[in-house]
Amino acid sequence: MIAHTSIGFIIAIGARAVLRGDRFGAYLIMLLSWVGCLNAGTLALNSAFDRDEGDIGYLDAPPPIPRHLGVMSFVLMTIGQLLALTLGSGYAIAYAICFAMSIAYSVPPVRLKAVAGADWVINIVGVGVLTPFAGWTASGFALRPEARWIMIGFGFLFGSLYPLTQIYQFDEDSSRGDRTLARILGVRASLLISAGAAALAFAAFSHGLVLAGPTVMARNALVVAGVVWAVVLGNWIARHGRMTSAEHQRGMYRALLAWAVTDVAMVVAFAV
């Protein structure tokens, strides 16, 4: 999450400026508020109401939920909102939107994570679009034409990733009665939607690159990231009918690696 939040900031000011330490104070406040408070608080709030017992993310055996985890997550996100006010109105508004969506996503009776489609949209907007936007606005630099396409691209890319994080959790979600998008669609349809969203993401990135003025290195970086996604999703689609839940979970980790490759590619393409 630190890497993804940093993307907008790095592209806005350029890799060389980052290495010089330009706007370093703003960068630290951004990471503390967005990653340390908002993201951590969101995950804690979600855990407080999910009370997972099976594998979840990188935790194969989640510990018992602390008694006051929900309250502390809200306090943590509130602290982050106060920090966000120091980085300008655009950043503070983006934070407030994500704060509200975090509550709507996890807390009953709204609990949009249990509503197929709504769970997807919230993550596309929050993680996909607003996270790189927050990084850009925290830099103090105005949005350039390519910035909008970069953020749209990351919205589509998280639209691709999100169903992949749910496939191996079908049994856990079913036990809680959560009707997630992936559970409603099924494995094959979820994978096909993910592939389509990934294709749209790289179309948006490519258009942003045209606006920014492409170089050979920039084109090659995007091609490499696109190929990685194609291999991960193509192999998953071809084998999904024979895969166990554990194998689907490993597929999710490979998709997360593809996301990391994309983050690096975007820095090379737009900030170097």
The domains found in the chain, sorted by start residue, are 1-143 (no CATH), 145-272 (1.20.120.1780)
d(C-alpha 266, C-alpha 262), whole Å:
6
pLDDT at 111 over 90: no
Q: How much is the pLDDT for 115?
A: 83
Q: Name the nearest CA neighbour of 37 among 102, 93, 89.
A: 102
The tally of CA atoms less than 13 A away on the side-chain side of residue 161 is 21
Find the length of the chain.
Answer: 272
- Contact (CB, 8 A) for 40 and 76: yes
Q: Please indicate, yes or no, whether the overall pTM of this predicted structure exceeds 0.85.
A: yes
- Contact (CB, 8 A) for 103 and 70: no
Q: How much is the pLDDT for 257?
A: 96
d(C-alpha 102, C-alpha 119), whole Å:
11
HEC sequence for 129-170:
HHHHHHHHHHCCCCCCHHHHHHHHHHHHHHHHHHHHCCHHHH
d(C-alpha 127, C-alpha 125), whole Å:
6
pLDDT at 51 over 80: no
d(C-alpha 41, C-alpha 69), whole Å:
9
Helix (H, G, I), strand (E, B) or coil at 59: strand
- Contact (CB, 8 A) for 7 and 267: yes
Q: Nearest 10 degrees: CA dihedral of 52, 55, 61, 63?
A: -20
Q: How far apart are the first and last CA of the chain?
A: 21
pLDDT at 149 over 90: yes
Amino acid making up residue 263: D
Mean per-residue pLDDT for 247-272? Answer: 95
Structure confidence at residue 119 as a pLDDT band (50, 70, 90) = confident
d(C-alpha 45, C-alpha 126), whole Å:
15
- Contact (CB, 8 A) for 113 and 102: no
Q: How much is the pLDDT for 58?
A: 55
Per-residue pLDDT reduced to its tens digit, 162-176: 999 888 877 666 665
Mean per-residue pLDDT for 65-75? Answer: 88
